[in-house]
Each structure stands twice: as structure tokens, then as C-alpha cells.
Amino acid sequence: MHQIDVSSRHRLLERHGDFVLAYSVAHQPGLLHFGDEQGFLSYKMVGSAAFVLADPLAPRERRGALIDAFIAEKGDVSFWQTTHGMAKLLAERGFFVNELGAETFVDLRSYDFAGPRRRSFRTAVNRFTRSGHVVEEMSLGDLDPGRVRAISEGWRRTRTTKSRELSFLVRPVVLDDEPGVRKFFILDRDRQPVAFAFFDPLYRDGRLIGYLSATRRWLPETDSLATYFLLRTAIEKFQSEGIETLYLGIMPFRRIEDKEFTKNWLIRRAFRFIYTNALANRFVYPTKTLAQHKESYGGDIRQTYCAINTEPALPRLLKLLRVLRIV
């Protein structure tokens, strides 16, 4: 097992990257990689504990052997935001498996902007077009990098984690062109960018099947409906290209039931506390507000999972905060 070069990782992404965080598994900076040119998984180490991001980029028939080899080498292993298929493989290997939160997605083949639930999209378009704003898909090379950086930093100053970019489950923003990533900008009357949205691609067997809305940011003084203006334009563009699905990301700790697998009770209670506690939502991460916003798009959902093979769970949860760069 050895580090895999970026071109091999991207090739595997285009073959097996049909899950939401696939692009991040292939390209997020700072991750280690375990495997070879036939398949790999991505992870971070905190002390002796290995934190694996999502699913491996590998053929499904090779995933079990890859997991077994990784566990044999690392010992203390946990997986985060996996699919249901991966959760089953891990449960078969004695992992405690907890539901992590629901991912939201929309079927672009039938999605439209009619009805009361889509009112924010219509309002956003009317409001921004009246003030002379437009949305365009652009290369970063066509824009003032300082202006784009100001949008990103201005947005981050309004967040709970003001001083640092989150990572691991959230791919840190890249203010440059990236292979396959689509980047849309709101431009004002003077064609200066005031907001942006970046979309990571998903693939299956070499075919583009969808995008993840990975990053949306705007200047603090910009109307918060900017996200609806950006998303509507991107959705209509993707629909015209025959793209099947737009993924809107995870709602952490939302709609957790934990009925299928052997769960860890401490992890379940911790997730429930973070989701329901007002102080945790204010000072750690605004999970309730995020869930309400994503549910406003009216899409479908599917559950994601985390799994640990070593107890007690509390040290792993505390180390996860370091992996995420929350602390």
C-alpha cells in the first residue's frame, strides 16, 4: 500500500465516484491515502486513531479486502459519512454503526420552481435581476482573485467558526479552477462578483451523473437569497445538459433512528444533544438551522452513517472535532 498520485485518484473518481463526498475523497488537501491504483480510501490520523472519509474509491468487490487491510494496519479506525452499503460492510466486521444524518438531493429530471415551496427561488430571481445582478459560470482566471477571496473571508466572518476553514466532512474552499468542478458567480452591475457557488461532480463508470452543491458564499451585505439565485441558475443549466441529480449535502444528526445496526449509545446521545441544544447550535455548529434551510428546497433524503471499532467513543468524538477543525 502506498500513496496514489492525483491522476490515478481522479481516474478512480470517474469510475467509482457515485457518492456525495467522492470528489473530496479524491482531491481534498491534507488527506492520506491507503490503497493502490486499483482502489483506495482517504483518511486522517489523530494520534493512533484513523478517521476515514466516506467510502473508498474502488470497485465494490474490492472494498471488503481494502477495509480489512486498513484495519489490520491501523487498528483504531472510524468511518464518517458513509453510504448504506459501506455501513453494512462495517457492521459485518463488528463495528458499531450510527446514523450520522440525512443527505438531501433533488431529481433534476422532474424538479421545477412552481408552487409555494419554491417561492424563495422566484423571489430571489426577481430581486436580483431588478438590481442588475446576473449569474454566470466563470473561470477563476477571469476574476480578480482578491475580490473572490474577500467574498470567502467576509462570509466566513459571519459563521460560528470564524477563524478557520472546516475540513474533512466539509471540503475546504479552493479559490482556483479544479478539474470537473463547476463555479458560478453573482455579478453586480459593474460585473464585480458578490457571491459564488461551487459544485463537485459525481461519476459512475466514467459517466457524469450529478453534482454536489459543495460551497455557497456571499459578501455579508449581500441579500441572503443569493443562494437561491445561484442554485436556480445552476439547476437550470444542469437540467439543460441532462444531469440527473443535484445533491445538497448532509443535514448532520437530522432524522436519526438507529434501528438497523448495532449502535454506540454514547454517540447517539451526543448527536442528539448537539442537534437539540441551543448553545451547541450557537457556539459549535448550527445543525438545526442548516437542516431547515436544506429542507426548504423540497428534495428527497437518504441516510448516512458513521462507524467505530474501538471504545470508549468519547475520545474519538473529541478527536473528530480536531479533524473537522472545529477546535
What's the confidence (pLDDT) of residue 82? 98
Mean pLDDT, residues 238-262 taken together = 94
Assess whether pLDDT exceeds 80 at residue 276: yes
Give the pLDDT score at 39. Answer: 97
Residue 127 — pLDDT band, cuts 50, 70, 90? very high
Provide the whole-model pTM: 0.94
| CATH number attached to the domain at 6-104+254-292+301-324 | 3.40.630
Among 186, 176, 271, CA closest to 232: 186
**Residue 94 has what DSSP assignment?**
T
Average pLDDT, the chain: 93
Residue 166's pLDDT band (cuts 50, 70, 90): confident
pLDDT the model gives residue 163: 64
- Could you tell me the CA-to-CA distances from 249 to 51, 81, 90 in Å, in that order? 20, 11, 22
Q: Are 90 and 97 in contact (CB under 8 A)?
A: yes
Per-residue pLDDT at 160 exceeds 80: no
For residue 295, CA distances in Å to 70, 94, 235, 241 come to 36, 34, 16, 25
Q: What is the pLDDT of residue 2?
A: 60
Dihedral (CA of 295, 297, 301, 304) sign: negative
Q: What value does the mean pLDDT take over residues 260-271? A: 96
The helix/strand/coil state of 41 is strand
pLDDT band at 3, cuts 50/70/90? confident
- The model's pLDDT over 175-192, given as tens digits with 9 standing for 90+, comes to 999 999 999 999 999 999
Give backbone dihedrals phi and psi of 282, rounded to 5 degrees, phi first.
-80, -40
pLDDT at 36: 95
Asked if residue 99 has pLDDT above 90, the reply is yes
Q: Under a CB-based contact definition with an 8 Å cutoff, are residues 230 and 271 in contact?
A: no
Residue 164 has pLDDT above 70, yes or no: yes
Residue 40 pLDDT > 90: yes
What pLDDT does 61 receive? 95
Report the C-alpha gap between 316 and 308 in whole angstroms.
8
Residue whose C-alpha cell reads 467558526 in the numeric block: 161
- Per-residue pLDDT of 51-74, as tens digits, reads 999 999 999 999 999 999 999 999
Q: Which comes out higher in pLDDT, residue 220 or 163?
A: 220
Q: What local confidence, expressed as pLDDT, does residue 280 receive? A: 81
The pLDDT of residue 158 is 85
Q: Rounded to whole angstroms, how far apart are CA atoms 93 and 68? A: 9
Architecture of domain 105-248: 3-Layer(aba) Sandwich (3.40)
Residues 6+ apart with CB under 8 A from 61: none
pLDDT, mean of residues 292-297? 81
Cis peptide before 220, with omega less than 30 degrees from 0? no
Q: Where in the chain is the domain with CATH 3.40.630.30?
A: 105-248
DSSP 14: H
Rounded percentage of the chain residues whose pLDDT exceeds 70: 98
